[in-house]
Amino acid sequence: MALDIGAVREQFPALALTHNGVPRIYLDNPAGTQVPRTVLDRMMQALVEFNANMGGNFHTSRLATETSAEAHRAMADFFNASNEREVVFGANMTTLTFMMTRVLAGRFEAGDEIILTQMEHDGNASPWRIMAEERGLVVKRLDFDPTTYEIDVARLDEIITPRTKFAAINYSSNILGTINNVKAMCERYRAAGVLTYVDAVQFAPHGAIDVQELGCDFLVASAYKFYGPHQGILWGREELLSTLPAWKLRVVKDVPPGRYETGTQSLEGQAGTIGAIEYMQWVGRTMGAEFVPTKPGLSDRTRAVHAGLLAMAEYDRGLSRHLIDGLQRIGGLEIRGITNPERFQHRVPTVSVTKSDLDPAELATFLDQHGVYVWNGHSYGIDVIERLGLQDRGGVLRIGPTHYNTTAELDVALNLIEDFVKGRVRPD
Ligand SMILES: Cc1ncc(COP(=O)(O)O)c(C=O)c1O
């Protein structure tokens, strides 16, 4: 059964808003998605009914504590983690990653090597680079092919050495849209005794994540990219989170995940994250029957959430096709990502384009005047932009639909882009 787009859109109040009298078209989803009612309800409930700090011996504090515990369980199911002690909440992916550089740095000695893919968002590059500088580590890059926009995992055999100790892996690029073969990379790294840290921020809204299947050591995501509130989440293997050092206050119990959740956590953020999981469960239960995973041992919630995400991913591939076909029809635009429909399993619907005489900022400004929201520039994916030689050309125009967008919305954007690139119009 295909996604019921009407039912989906009804869940998101922001989709009904207008911009100067025309419907808003949100194609800025790689930078942050809109939220469904379940998220708003959960956040409102937390802030109205039990806005208390956690851990107290009174009614509202107990409710807050239980909500936080449920948020950890919900995210454990989202990731198919072994248990909720493997789930650490934090401000956002970048802050959690900086914390993890401090946690891990002591394991490495001068001359050790770390490998980053060339597709990293800077949130999974600069923290490790800074750690490497401080510890005297060598930073190597796993490049992507700038014509296919994919990474050849076999190249790892040339790059990994006995000194390789750590690898940062991009699950899906926020510029190219490529989905990397994380499982194959983790297999090679694991065989070489290399710790792996996966940035799943862009993949999480577009596919089912199974950390046990991937075989990684750490994985990070941000709820605001998967229909939730501004909230970062880290998954780590329990044996690592129990034994690695933690920079914690004396009064905090020395057990995961609390030893890494410093200071007062965002109760409303965790409550809203439960709401995002509930939304995905709803999609799975009402529209995802054919996508329910059959793997034994999954919880009912994991099955429902993953079915929802897989139903969304199939719909996303239709959006990719429509958008890429339309951009190709306009002509003269270079699509910086996979365009072969047979390889759409290897991309999310984020599509970046360039044209030699086109200023992406001007085009984004023009689209905004018509209620179409897109990003331009590097979107912090600076390693990708530099690899493509686009840093002095204003980066890319990034069109980022997700499962609540329609092909009709894409047509509005495509018509405007065509008018602009053919010089029929200019921003006011
Ligand atoms: C791939 C990727 N990684 C990391 C981040 C940073 O996430 P956060 O804003 O939660 O720090 C982003 C944000 O756009 C991203 O797209």
What does the pLDDT look like over 327-374, one tens digit per residue?
Answer: 999 999 999 999 999 999 999 999 999 999 999 999 999 999 999 999
| Ligand 1 site, residue 400, Cβ cutoff 6 A | no
Q: At what angle do helices 267-287 and 300-330 cross, to 10 degrees?
A: 80
Q: Residues of the chain whose pLDDT is less than 70?
A: 1, 427
Report CA(201)–ligand 1 centroid distance (Å).
6
Here the tokens at position 189 are: 């790294």
Q: How many other C-beta atoms are found inside a 10 Å radius of the C-beta of residue 159?
A: 15
Q: How far is the CA of 263 from the centre of ligand 1 (A)?
A: 22
How many whole angstroms separate alpha carbon 45 and alpha carbon 29? 26
Classified by CATH at the fold level, domain 5-33+314-421 comes out as Aspartate Aminotransferase, domain 1 (3.90.1150)
Q: Are strands 25-26 and 372-373 parallel, antiparallel or unpaired?
A: parallel
Whole-number Å distance between alpha carbons of 420 and 412 = 12
Question: Does ligand 1 have an atom closer than 6 angstroms to the CB of 350?
Answer: no
Strands 372-373 and 164-170: unpaired
Whose CA is closest to atom 8 on ligand 1? 93
Alpha-carbon gap, residue 170 to 173, rounded angstroms: 7
Burial 164-174 (b: 16+ CB within 10 A, else e): bbbbbbbbbbb
- Smallest CA-to-CA distance from 397 within 414, 422, 409 is with 414
Q: Is the CB of 336 under 6 A from ligand 1?
A: no
The domain ranges of the chain are: 5-33+314-421, 40-280
Ligand 1 probe mutation, 222, 231, 234, 266, most atoms within 8 A of CB: 222
Burial class (CB in 10 A: 0-12, 13-18, 19+), 158: exposed
- Nearest 10 degrees: CA dihedral of 295, 296, 298, 299? 130
Digit-coded pLDDT (tens) for 34-78: 999 999 999 999 999 999 999 999 999 999 999 999 999 999 999
What is the CATH architecture assignment of 40-280? 3-Layer(aba) Sandwich (3.40)
Ligand 1 atom at minimal distance to the Cα of residue 32: 14
The pLDDT value given to residue 390? 97
Distance in angstroms (rounded) separating the CA atoms of residues 377 and 360: 7
Atom of ligand 1 nearest to the CA of 94: 11
Scanning 294-387, the segments in alpha helix (DSSP H) are: 300-330, 360-368, 382-387
Give me ligand 1 centre to Cα 94, in Å: 7
Residue 123 alpha carbon to ligand 1 centre in Å: 6
Distance CA 210, CA 271 (A): 22
**CA-proximal residue: ligand 1, atom 7 (nearest):** 93
